[in-house]
Amino acid sequence: MGYVDRVIDYYRQKDAQNPEFIQALEEVLDSTRLIFDRHPEYEKLGVLERLCEPERVIMFRVPWVDDNGNVRVNRGYRVQFNGAIGPYKGGLRFHPSVNLSVLKFLGFEQVFKNALTTLPIGGGKGGSDFDPKGKSEGEIMRFCQSFMSELYSHIGADVDVPAGDMGVGAREIGYLYGQYRKLSKLNTPGVLTGKGIKYGGSLVRTEATGYGLVYFVLEMLKHHGKKPEGLTTIISGSGNVAIYACEKAKQNGMKVIAMSDSKGYILDDNLDLDVVKQIKEVERGSLASYVEKCGHGEYHEGSLYDANIKCDIALPCGTQNEIDLERAKRLVSNGCWLVAEGANMPDNNEAVAYYLANKVLFAPGKAANAGGVATSALEMSQNSMRYSWSFEEVDQKLKDIMASIHQQCLNMIDEYNLEKHNYVAGANIAGMTKVVEAMVAQGII
Ligand code: NDP
Ligand code: 2IT
């Protein structure tokens, strides 16, 4: 058995209780074998074993008091995966499905994604199994304060810089930052990103993941001689990533006809994004109220991907493993020829293999959704300079970064003689090469 297979095998046994982590590890390692054929010396240096083992995992108790005076306890985590190219960087997820497997998969993906951004950031991820749904403002604030009471001693602007992810947006980052500032007695806004504009946030960070996703899609279309105008597009999710992907897709003439949430989906040829924003960003409600609010469209319970919807493009922006083999087949049989991941790992490995075998243009999350963390790194730069750039300046940098990530994928496809549409191997090889070279240069640590 070769080096890569031995490592995959080892982790399959060692981390059998972490299925999402194994899934991410298999996807990355399987598509980067060529690096290890070229560099047999990496085996002796234990490069893969070091890449697959987080530098540090912190787990902690998060006690808080609900509005009825009852004490509740959640579990908090921070996975500091790899710091070879910069401070650990990655979001915090508050969702009942959070566990160590999910955060290790997200942290692992983040390492390679962050390497692709061209900016000096290592990879990490954190969060809690806390469910923000139905909680009052006071409960959200007390939870964030308790979470940060433990986390603050493990992070810092040059150490580890958390941001948002599912269930964590500007409101939560505000409460987390306030508590950090109180406990640390430091005024270092670069310790968290996704902050409000009035206290160190960056313009475009709110929109960055969704906008960046569409910038990446535009690069793919251009490279394949196609135009975005009139392309029918479906988007799963209706959170931060999905909303701004929809906005930028519409600005570029794409026809978005569907969005979804964890309960159901809307179909509407005249999809009204303002109504979606009102429901999701302001009311924090369910898409079930969409049709009544805007007077057109349809709402159905269940997954968007179980419906037969004709489309050119699918942008999965909800959560991991939304699309399995059966759903991937349904997408393709309904005419979908481009899939770009706004979420992290929304397609399982069988779905991805099916796209590649059927010549679907497929952009993996670590390339296509890197605009969010890249703009977080631009927020860190602005905080260090104690200065801020205009919307146009940040947006232009974001476009340039997404174009550069696309180009890095193409360069690796060329350099390793891969199939022309294999963005999966292109992105994984580009990201891994950078991290591995940085690790090897720094010795055995
Ligand atoms: P949000 O919490 O803002 O929104 C999540 C959305 O996904 C909600 O609409 C939610 O529905 C929906 N959702 C949750 N579970 C499911 C499901 N099983 N099926 C369909 N939809 C579901 O999170 P974000 O938009 O920030 O994150 C979405 C994805 O993008 C995640 O995978 C995240 O890791 C990734 N990502 C986020 C970045 C960021 O900057 N925020 C950057 C890069 C990637 P409901 O409202 O019903 O809960
Ligand atoms: O998955 C991701 O890249 C994010 N949630 C964004 C992380 C960040 O640090 O901005």
Pocket test for ligand 2, best of 78, 108, 125, 165 (most atoms within 8 A of CB): 165
Torsional sign, CA 46, 413, 321, 221 = positive
Task: Give CA separation, 127 vs 40, 107, 136, 151, 280, in Å.
Answer: 37, 11, 19, 10, 21
Which ligand 1 atom sits nearest the alpha carbon of residue 133?
A: 48
Number of the ligand closest to the Cα of 102: 1
- d(C-alpha 248, C-alpha 328), whole Å: 24
* Residue for token pair 């399959």: 12
> What single string gives the DSSP state of each residue in 356-389?
HHTT-EEE-HHHHTTHHHHHHHHHHHHHHHT---
Number of the ligand closest to the Cα of 380: 2
State the distance from the centre of ligand 2 to the C-alpha of 297, rounded, in angstroms: 32
Q: What is the pLDDT of residue 329?
A: 98
Task: Please name the residue whose Cα sits nearest to atom 39 of ligand 1.
Answer: 165
Ligand 2 touching residue 319 (CB < 6 A): no
Which ligand 1 atom sits nearest the alpha carbon of residue 318?
A: 7
As annotated, the active-site residues are 125
The answer to whether 315 and 346 have CB atoms below 8 angstroms apart is no
Amino acid at 243: I
Non-local CB neighbours of 252 within 8 Å, separated by 6+ positions: 214, 218, 228, 229
Q: What is the pLDDT of residue 84?
A: 98
Q: What is the pLDDT of residue 428?
A: 98
Ligand 2 touching residue 91 (CB < 6 A): yes
- The pair of structure tokens assigned to 284 is 């924090």
Q: What is the pLDDT of residue 80?
A: 99
Helices (H) and strands (E) in the chain, counts: 18, 12
Q: Is 284 left (phi over 0), alpha (psi -120 to 50) or beta?
A: left
Predicted confidence pLDDT, tens digits, the chain (445 residues):
899 999 999 999 999 999 999 999 999 999 999 999 999 999 999 999 999 999 999 999 999 999 999 999 999 999 999 999 999 999 999 999 999 999 999 999 999 999 999 999 999 999 999 999 999 999 999 999 999 999 999 999 999 999 999 999 999 999 999 999 999 999 999 999 999 999 999 999 999 999 999 999 999 999 999 999 999 999 999 999 999 999 999 999 999 999 999 999 999 999 999 999 999 999 999 999 999 999 999 999 999 999 999 999 999 999 999 999 999 999 999 999 999 999 999 999 999 999 999 999 999 999 999 999 999 999 999 999 999 999 999 999 999 999 999 999 999 999 999 999 999 999 999 999 999 999 999 999 9
- d(C-alpha 302, C-alpha 327), whole Å: 13
Ligand 2 touching residue 90 (CB < 6 A): yes
Amino acid at 125: K
